[in-house]
């Protein structure tokens, strides 16, 4: 689903945001990017949805080679990727319903279909009763649920989340994580950047640790079925697997 090979990214000459990143995320995986602030987690996510371009190396997302992707094709790549942010990034002048309907509008969904799908996704995140409220009238947790609903209303194959629980208290954060788990169970690949190590441990998922723009470890969840594989992969720092 997502593959990177020897990816470099520099924001200026003296500062390397990412260096020699090689990784492979399979379809249906739930992966955490962790590490301290400035480790390169957000940059890594930005490279996946083409907000930033890699200076070097190759990135494949959902079968597209991003280094060869023309600017005009970026919107079409993004329609298959949902993104959730720490600060929600909802449009304040639109109601909850309009925020979600807008995504469907952009990709040319017919009107009757927009209504049905927006309602459906709001029900999934438990906010159907707030559909006519404006984002600023909602609590942080509710706003983030709207943001998640917006990210998944198009049934993207990949969901990227950049510190989605960073602004929320523990209980509300747990609700959001439950929501993400549910989305993952439906088959969506989820990549989430966070520095909340407690939560990462509780989730028991694959964790890619970053430090100063480098990948320092890649650990898979321990289950009975993949215990052997897990031991094998632990020894590999860069588990690059060719297609």
Partner 1 sequence: MKGSPVMFLADLTYFVDEGLKSVRRNKFISVVAVVTIGFALLIFGAFLIVYSNVNHITSGWVQQVEITAYIKDGTSSGRLDDMKKILWENPEVSKVEYVSKEEALKRLQSDHEDAVYLLGGLDENPLPASFEIKLSKAAQNREAVDHLVEKIRNISELQEVQYGQEWTRGLLTFMNILRLLGFILGGLLGVAIIFIIANTVRLTVYARRDELAVMRLIGATNGFIKGPFLMEGLLQGLLGSLFSLLLLLGIYYFWIPRLRQSAGMFFLQDMTVSFLPVSMILWIILGGMFLGFFGSLISLGRFLKI
Given the complex with partner 1, which of 89 and 232 has the nearer CB atom?
89
102 scored as a contact of partner 1 (CB under 8 A): yes
136 scored as a contact of partner 1 (CB under 8 A): no
Q: Which stretch binds partner 1 (CB under 8 A): 35-43, 98-106, 129-137, 161-169?
A: 98-106
Which tokens in the block code for residue 30?
């739930």
CB 240 within 8 A of CB 23: yes
Given the complex with partner 1, which of 159 and 207 has the nearer CB atom?
159
**CB 152, min distance to partner 1, A:** 12
**CB 30, min distance to partner 1, A:** 22
Q: Which stretch binds partner 1 (CB under 8 A): 5-13, 108-116, 178-186, 226-234?
A: 108-116
Mask for 42-81, x = binds partner 1 (CB under 8 A): -------x-x-------------------xx-xxxxxx--
116 scored as a contact of partner 1 (CB under 8 A): no
- Among 26, 27, 89, 202, contact with partner 1 (rule: CB under 8 A): 89
**CB 104, min distance to partner 1, A:** 10
Residues that bind partner 1 (CB under 8 A): 49, 51, 71-72, 74-79, 83, 89-93, 102-103, 105-108, 110-111, 150, 154
């Amino acid at each position: 689903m997502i593959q990177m090979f020897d990816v470099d990214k520099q924001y200026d000459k003296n500062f390397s945001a990412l260096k020699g990143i090689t990784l492979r995320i399979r379809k249906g995986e739930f992966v955490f990017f962790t590490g301290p602030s400035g480790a390169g987690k957000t940059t890594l996510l930005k490279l996946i949805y083409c907000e930033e371009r890699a200076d070097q190396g190759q990135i494949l997302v959902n079968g597209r080679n991003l280094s060869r992707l023309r600017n005009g094709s970026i919107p079409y790549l993004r329609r298959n990727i949902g993104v959730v942010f720490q600060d929600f990034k909802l449009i304040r002048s639109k109601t909850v319903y309009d925020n979600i309907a807008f995504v469907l509008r952009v990709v040319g969904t017919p009107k009757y279909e927009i209504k049905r799908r927006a309602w459906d996704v709001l029900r999934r995140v438990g906010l159907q009763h707030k559909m006519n409220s404006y984002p600023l009238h909602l609590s942080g947790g509710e706003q983030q649920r709207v943001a998640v609903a917006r990210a998944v209303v198009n049934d993207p194959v990949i969901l990227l989340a950049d510190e989605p629980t960073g602004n929320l208290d523990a209980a509300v954060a747990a609700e959001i994580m439950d929501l993400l788990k549910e989305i993952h169970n439906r088959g969506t690949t989820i990549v989430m950047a966070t520095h909340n190590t407690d939560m990462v441990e509780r989730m028991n998922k694959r964790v890619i640790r970053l430090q100063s723009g480098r990948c320092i470890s890649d650990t898979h969840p321990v289950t009975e079925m993949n215990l052997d594989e897990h031991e094998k992969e632990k020894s590999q720092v860069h588990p690059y697997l060719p297609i």
